[in-house]
Every structure is written in C-alpha cells, then in structure tokens.
A and B are shown apart, each in its own frame.
Chain A
Amino acid sequence: MTDVIDTKRAKKQALGPYGKVGHAINELDERLGVAKGGRTFMDKIFPDHWSFMLGEIALYSFVVLVVTGVFLTLYYIPSTDLVTYHGSYLPLDGQRMTEAYASSVNLSFAVRGGLLMRQMHHWACDIFVGSIVVHMARIFFTGAFRKPRELNWTIGLTLLILAIANGFLGYSLPDDLVSGTGIRIAYSIILSIPLAGSYLAFWVFGGNYPGTAVIPRFFILHVLIIPLIIIGLVGAHLFLLVRQKHTQFPGKGRTEKNVVGTPMFPVFIAKTTGFLFVTTGVIALLGAFAQINPIWQFGPYTASRISYAVQPDWYMGFLDGALRIWPSWSFHSWGYTIPLEVFVPSVLLPGLIFNIAYVWPAIERKFSKDNQLHNLLFRPSDRPKHTAAGVASLVFVAMLFIASSTDVLANFFRLPLNEVLWAMRILVIISPLIAYPITWKICKEIQAVQGGGKRKTANIVSRTTEGEYVAVPAPAYADDVHQELEPTPVPRYIVESDEHETTTGVRVAER
C-alpha cells in the first residue's frame, strides 16, 4: 500500500509546482518555444469600454455565418437544371423550378433544423453588416483610424464591401422570385458600364441573361472565394489589433504609452466567449421567432414574373434608393449610349462614397495637420467638425436607404407615390446640409457643459450672487464599486495571504 502512495506523491512532486499543466507547458516549450509568447499573449490587456465590443458583434456573427453556412452547403444544390418539385409544400407541388430553388425549399421543409439554419444564416448576415457599420462609425467618431491604424481602417472598409457583396451573392443563391429580380438588376448595372459593359456582363454571366452559369458561379464566390478573403482580412485585422494594441479613452492612469483594462486570460476570454454565446443566442432566437426570406411564398424565379415591394436586403438599399430617385438622364450620341441613369447612381456614386471613405485618414491628416501617433481616442464632441461631417455623411447614406422603400412608405402612410419620391429627392440633398450644422452645434454645447457625459455622480448645482449657475460633481460615496482603482501591472504570481478566506474565488498557487 505504501508503495502506491509513495509513487503517487513522488509522481506529483516530479511534476513540479504547477502540476500537469506545468508539465504540458514544459513539453510544448521544449519543442515550440511557446512559453514566453504564451505568457505575453495571456497578459494582453483589453480596455473595457462598451463601444469596443461592437467589432466583436461583427466577428461573432461571422462565426455563426460560417457554421450555419457549412450546414447549408451540405444540402444546397447550385444548379439551374430544371426539376419538378414534389415535396411537402403544396403550392409548389408539380411546378418546374431550378434545382437551386428546389433544394432551398427542401432545406426549409424537409431537412430537420434546415429552416432554423437558413434563418439564422440570413439574420446573422443582416446583423453582420449592421454591426460592421456601427463598429465603423465608432472607429470614425472616436478617431481610432488615425496613425498608426490607417491600414486597419482600409482592411475594415474592404471587409464591409466584401460582406455586402457576399450577402448579395448569398441571398441570390436560392433563385427565388425576389432575389432573381435582383440578379436581373445586377446584370443591367454591369451592362451600363461604358465601353466594356456588354463584355463584362457576358463574361460574368456566361452569355445573355439569365444563362445557366450565374448560380454556380455565385455559389463558389459565396462559399469559397470571398469567405477565404474575408477570413484572411479578419485575421490581418485582428493581428494588427493585437500588434498595435487597442486604443483607449483618456482617463485615470491612461496615457499614450500604456493600455489599461482587463487581461486576456481569464477575464477577457470569459467575457468575450460569453458574448459569443449571447450573439449566437440572439441570432438563434431571431431565427426561431422572426421569419425571414420565406422563399416558398415567393415561388421560383422566371424572367417574366415580378412582384411589387421587392426591395433588396437592407444593406443593398442604398443602391436601390439611389436608382429610384436618380432622374432619367441618359446620354445617347454618335451611335453609342451611356446609360447615366443607371451608371451614375449604381456605379459612380457608391464608388465615390467608398473612395472618400478609403482616403479619409489621409484627408483628416491633411486638414488637421496632425501626423502623430495616437493611441488615445477623442470623444465625438471634442471634434465638432469631424463629428458633424460624419453625421452628415451617415444621414446622406441613410436617406438613400429610406429612398429604397418609397412604395412601402407611400402604402403605409397612405401618401401619393409620386410625391413620396419627390420628397426623397429633396431630402437626400437637404438633410445632410441640415444635419451638419445641427451636429456641430450639439457638439459645441456638450463641450460647454462641465464634464458633460462623463460623470458618475450627481452634479451639485449652486448659484452665485451674480446669478450664474455653477455645477460641481458631488464626491463619490465611499464604497462605490464603480470607482476605478489605480491600474496595476498584471501579476506574475499571486502570494497567498495570511487569512484563508476564499470569498474572492482566486486560486492561489504555491510557489
């Protein structure tokens, strides 16, 4: 008996002070040299502000997209061969349709969990693009795109474009009536490009519209080529984030030369994994209770069918809105046509918007004459002109989105359709012009208020004898948990204290 105990204790002592984990690290480090890098990685500090988590929403909805997408690829058939549907959805029974559409309907009705996966995939995409936009807005309004992070801004903007493109390709895959209309419009937009339009359209689609090549090509772009690029760019985006470290707001103990927050392991990992679960959970709940893209109701796409109220998915709305409100000016001379009524709103205008966004860090550097490194952020109200310009641009793009739903608005509010369209034409021009000065003024007002937006305790307002109001923050109460401590470096080890109270839940390792 004692032999066994001796061996056990001897084995335990042989492992060293950190037990099996230490032993594993020894083995790995001897082969890969991971110990120092691993420790550095675990000590990485992440600032805690809530607005820094918006990019995580995008990242985790992308994870959901990939996982649900893999499921879908196992059942979806990217083919335009015609089949006759004989499934459980009676209104389609006996109808001729492409295999792409039939397999998508099959996914929705015959595959267990298929409808949930389809809906989660589609909701995740809407949330993915939405969270990228919100995240990009945060980056813009707090100045996180400044040196040294311009490359990350460029990568992020490219990710937005790829996400929008992949979303369009993805919802076109089921080949239903609504998305098929979108494909027809895409063909015509390519056609409108001067000089090369007809060639490009014939090459992308393999011939005249519709052809048989478009669904398989969209498929491989959607599941392989673009996701690979997105994954690569996301990897680069995160690598730059880790290498350059995250930015932070100015505050207690925070300087340009440090990062204050929580360490990667275990706190940040816990919070971010929890957020992954929450994001997936919200997407699954939406997929359960909110029906999205009911392709069986739309029916298969044939080129002579059309439905009314066929807006594209929300992130394409700015293109649809621009196409609706742009006037019918077309250029036609010397035997050639430039369809400006298509080319300008759907190619030139978005090109202009995105190009301005791409070069914005350079524009900002030139206007502010600021070439320094910045690791501290500014609050939007600290830069009134910058914030006003951003808000005006967002308002402009938002008006284009709203313009995409003119008929739905006219129907919902019982207004004449023609007048709604005219109203949108005027609003698109006027609202950015109104938004800029209003935003600028609001920023100035916030700056004027003492400590505006930052206080955690009440302001004690008193009046001087001259009648002026003075606001002074009240002192924090003694055990206010929201009062931050002075930041301290991540400890290498934790010393066991004399009292063995374990209310903290901190495990103490013996040295």
Chain B
Amino acid sequence: MSEHDEIRTPVSLQGISSDDPHLQPLSKNPQLVERVIAANFLLGLLLVAAFGACYWVNAKPWTLGATLGGGLFFLGVGLVAWGKYLMPRGPFVEERHELATSTEDRNALAAAIVERGGGVVKRRKLLGGLLGGGVGIFTIVAMFPLLRSLGPLPKRTLDTTDWKKGTYLVDITGRRVSVGDLAIGSIVTVYPEGLQNSDRGQAVDQTVLIRISDEDFTTQKGRETWGPAGYLAYSKLCTHLGCPVGLYEQELQLLVCPCHQSMFNVTNGALPQFGPAPRPLPQLPLYVDASGYIRSQSGYKVPVGPGFWERS
C-alpha cells in the first residue's frame, strides 16, 4: 500500500473503550427516551397497519393519507430520535485527503493527452480533419429527425383563420346567431359554422360577439359597416399571449383578459388601455343577411393572437 493509498483511506486503526464518552448517548435519561421512542414506533406501526385496513375497506381518501402519513411520520420521528439521542453521540472526526493529486500525476495526464494523442493527430492531419468534418456534419444532420420531423413548417398558417365572406356566426351548440338574439350589454362566444367543436375553431377562430348601445358606439374610420345594429365581433385571442378574452364589463365597456389583465376598450376598436397587451384585438367585419342571421363580411384583416417574428 503506497503512501498515497494511506491518505485515501483515513480509517482509524485504533479502538476505544465502550465506556468512552463519545459512545454514550446524548440523552441524560436514556430509559425515558427509549420509552418515548417505543411509543412513537408503536403508534406508527398501528397507523401504518390501519392504512392497510382503510385501503382494504375502500375508506375515504383522507383516511388513507392520514394513516399512511401519520404512521410514517411517527416511525420517522422515532428513528430520528433514536439516532440523535440514543446512539453514540460522537462527535467523530475524519481527515480530509488532499483532493488534488501530485504534480507528477497531472503532468503525466497532460503528457498522455498532448504528446500521445496530439502526436498521433499531428502526423495525420488529413485524417484528423476529415474525421472532424464527418463527426461535425453528423451532429448537425442528427438534429434533423429530432427537430424538423417534430412538426410542419409554419408557412403562413399563423396569418389566417377560417372566417371567410359569408360565414355564419354560431355559438358552442352550433346555433346560428341572429340579430335579435343579443340584448345591449350581452356577450357570446362564436365560431365559424361547423367548426365550433374543432380544435382550429376553438383555438384560432374563437370570437366574442357583443352588442353595445348606439350611444356608446363610435364608428371607426374604415370600419363603418363592420358593426351592424351595435354588434361588434372581436377575436377572442388576446394579443399578448393568446388567452381567451372572455371577461366583459358592460358599463366600463372593457374586455379584460383574465390571464394578465390586459384591458381592451370595446367602443374604439378594442384598443388596449392597460396591461401588457401591445395591439388591439382584431375586429371581424359583420353584416346581417336577409334572414336576420349575422355573418362575417370577410376574414380578419390582420393575424389574430400573440405576436411572432413574421407578423407584418
């Protein structure tokens, strides 16, 4: 055994007497502590057994947790107390060995890498270069199935919704909304007809339809025909992070997003008034057809939802 190994095994080779104070328990009254610990163990044992019984008779979930938790807790407390109060109190000491090895060993390792390894590559630079290139290209192309196959390219998917010219507005049950349905101060979530239960209809096309009074209505430039009979339709996707903006305060005329409290003013084209949303909610142009149903004049004029790089 070299001197070095000695340092790495700092195990004492001496003995001590059994009445050495280090081996005595910490507690001044070990018998009493032993009885307390025994009581803890007994209680823990009973509770853990009770867990089995509760499970067997399909008792309420809280009984399962109470028995299991209480049982383990008392067993644990007892075991900890045993270790702390009844076992040898110590303290014991152990020498730290020097973490670093000797200078010779460090130099030997460095030499192995630099001289042996480096020497080999230095003599065969072409091989080294080609191998490096091969491995490098491999790491790049290995990413292809891992990343690219995960999903399609976005292309222009984020820019469009399914609202087109003449799409009927329907609610979640699929019923078409007609012009007499909503009172002033009313709100309903609408989707393009047929898509109300589809992922895309819910996630991308979702729109809130509200009706405001003539006094509150402010005609926006270029949107004169978009809001017939006081009906306004805005994309329900918040322009901050895409949460549905379902919170409508009819007196304040605000659409509030519940996620981060962006507030959009309903009367002037859903301009954001407070909070982190940067852009107004896109408005869906509406018209009322001959049968009294509300339909969209066209799709949204701008992409809905939160911002992304290609959003022009």
Direct contact of A and B (CB under 8 A): yes
**Which chain A residues have a beta carbon within 8 Å of chain B's beta carbons?**
36, 39-40, 43-45, 48, 96, 112-113, 115-116, 119-120, 148, 181, 184-185, 187-189, 191-199, 201-213, 243-245, 253, 256-263, 266-271, 273-289, 302-310, 320, 323-330, 332, 335-339, 341-342, 373, 375, 406-407, 417-418, 421, 479, 481, 484-485, 487-497, 499, 503-506, 508
Contact of B260 among A192, A302, A323 (CB under 8 A): A323
Chain A residues lying within 8 Å of B158, measured Cβ to Cβ, are 191, 198, 208
CB distance from B3 to the nearest CB of A (A): 16
Q: Contact at A306–B246, with CB atoms within 8 Å?
A: yes
9 shortest interchain CB distances as A-B pairs: A288-B65, A277-B76, A284-B69, A281-B73, A270-B83, A274-B79, A339-B307, A274-B80, A285-B69
Q: Contact at A490–B66, with CB atoms within 8 Å?
A: no
Q: In the assembly, what is the distance between CA of A266 and CA of B200, in Å?
A: 62
- Chain B residues 177-230 with CB under 8 Å of chain A are 189, 191, 197, 199-200, 202-204, 206
Chain B residues lying within 8 Å of A44, measured Cβ to Cβ, are 94
Contact of B150 among A184, A204, A260, A305 (CB under 8 A): A204
- Chain B residues 293-312 with CB under 8 Å of chain A are 305-312
Among B103-111, B114-122, B274-282, the stretch that binds chain A is: B274-282
Q: Which residue of A lies closest to B80 (CB)?
A: A274
Q: Contact at B76–A278, with CB atoms within 8 Å?
A: yes
CB distance from A338 to the nearest CB of B (A): 7
Q: Contact at A192–B306, with CB atoms within 8 Å?
A: yes
CB distance from A199 to the nearest CB of B (A): 6
Chain A residues lying within 8 Å of B308, measured Cβ to Cβ, are 191-192, 197-198, 201, 337, 339
Q: In the assembly, what is the distance between CA of A487 and CA of B12, in Å?
A: 13
Q: A115-B61, A324-B261 are contacts. A337–B311 as well, Cβ < 8 Å?
A: yes
- Chain B residues 2-33 with CB under 8 Å of chain A are 9-28, 30-31
**B93 CB–A CB distance under 8 Å:** yes
Chain A residues lying within 8 Å of B17, measured Cβ to Cβ, are 494-495, 497
Contact of A338 among B24, B259, B309 (CB under 8 A): B309
CB distance from A136 to the nearest CB of B (A): 23
Q: Contact at A504–B275, with CB atoms within 8 Å?
A: no
Task: Taking A336-B312, A505-B30 as given, write out 17 further A-B residue pairs in contact, using a Cβ cutoff of 8 Å, ordered by the A residue number.
Answer: A96-B197, A116-B64, A181-B259, A188-B240, A189-B241, A191-B307, A267-B88, A274-B79, A277-B76, A280-B69, A284-B68, A284-B72, A323-B276, A341-B277, A485-B22, A495-B15, A495-B18
Q: Contact at B202–A484, with CB atoms within 8 Å?
A: no
Q: Contact at A213–B11, with CB atoms within 8 Å?
A: no
Contact of A328 among B14, B55, B153, B276 (CB under 8 A): B276
Taking each of A119, A270, A307, which has the highest tally of chain B beta carbons within 10 Å of its own beta carbon? A270
Q: In the assembly, what is the distance between CA of A253 and CA of B91, in Å?
A: 10
Q: Contact at B279–A270, with CB atoms within 8 Å?
A: no
Chain B residues lying within 8 Å of A197, measured Cβ to Cβ, are 308-309
Q: Contact at A490–B11, with CB atoms within 8 Å?
A: yes
Enumerate 13 A-B pairs (CB-CB under 8 Å) in ascending A order.
A188-B305, A192-B307, A201-B308, A202-B154, A211-B199, A270-B87, A277-B72, A277-B75, A281-B76, A285-B69, A488-B16, A491-B12, A503-B31
Q: A39-B11, A259-B93, A505-B30 are contacts. A208–B241 as well, Cβ < 8 Å?
A: no
Chain A residues lying within 8 Å of B70, measured Cβ to Cβ, are 281, 285
Q: A253-B93, A288-B62, A303-B199 are contacts. A492–B14 as well, Cβ < 8 Å?
A: yes
**B157 CB–A CB distance under 8 Å:** yes
Q: Which residue of A lies closest to B93 (CB)?
A: A487
Chain B residues lying within 8 Å of A260, measured Cβ to Cβ, are 91-93
CB distance from B218 to the nearest CB of A (A): 22
Chain A residues lying within 8 Å of B274, measured Cβ to Cβ, are 418, 421
Chain B residues lying within 8 Å of A36, measured Cβ to Cβ, are 9
Contact of B306 among A204, A339, A407, A504 (CB under 8 A): A339
Chain A residues lying within 8 Å of B23, measured Cβ to Cβ, are 494, 504, 506
Chain A residues lying within 8 Å of B16, measured Cβ to Cβ, are 488, 491, 494-495
Contact of B83 among A43, A274, A508 (CB under 8 A): A274
Q: Which residue of A lies closest to B81 (CB)?
A: A274
Q: Contact at B310–A198, with CB atoms within 8 Å?
A: yes
Q: A198-B158, A277-B79, A289-B66 are contacts. A263–B90 as well, Cβ < 8 Å?
A: yes
Q: Which residue of B lies closest to A255 (CB)?
A: B96
CB distance from A479 to the nearest CB of B (A): 7
CB distance from A225 to the nearest CB of B (A): 12
Chain A residues lying within 8 Å of B87, measured Cβ to Cβ, are 266-267, 270, 505
The 0/1 profile, CB within 8 Å of A marked 1, for residues 32-67 of chain B is: 000000000000000000000001001001111110
Q: Contact at A204–B151, with CB atoms within 8 Å?
A: yes
Chain A residues lying within 8 Å of B83, measured Cβ to Cβ, are 266-271, 274
**B134 CB–A CB distance under 8 Å:** no
Q: In the assembly, what is the distance between CA of A184 and CA of B27, in Å?
A: 58
Contact of A270 among B65, B82, B272 (CB under 8 A): B82
Q: Contact at B258–A306, with CB atoms within 8 Å?
A: yes
Q: A185-B241, A324-B261 are contacts. A280–B72 as well, Cβ < 8 Å?
A: yes
Q: Contact at A481–B28, with CB atoms within 8 Å?
A: yes
**B170 CB–A CB distance under 8 Å:** no
Q: In the assembly, what is the distance between CA of A181 and CA of B259, in Å?
A: 9
Q: Which residue of A lies closest to B158 (CB)?
A: A198
Q: Contact at A244–B99, with CB atoms within 8 Å?
A: yes
Q: In the assembly, what is the distance between CA of A267 and CA of B92, in Å?
A: 11
**B148 CB–A CB distance under 8 Å:** yes
CB distance from B32 to the nearest CB of A (A): 12
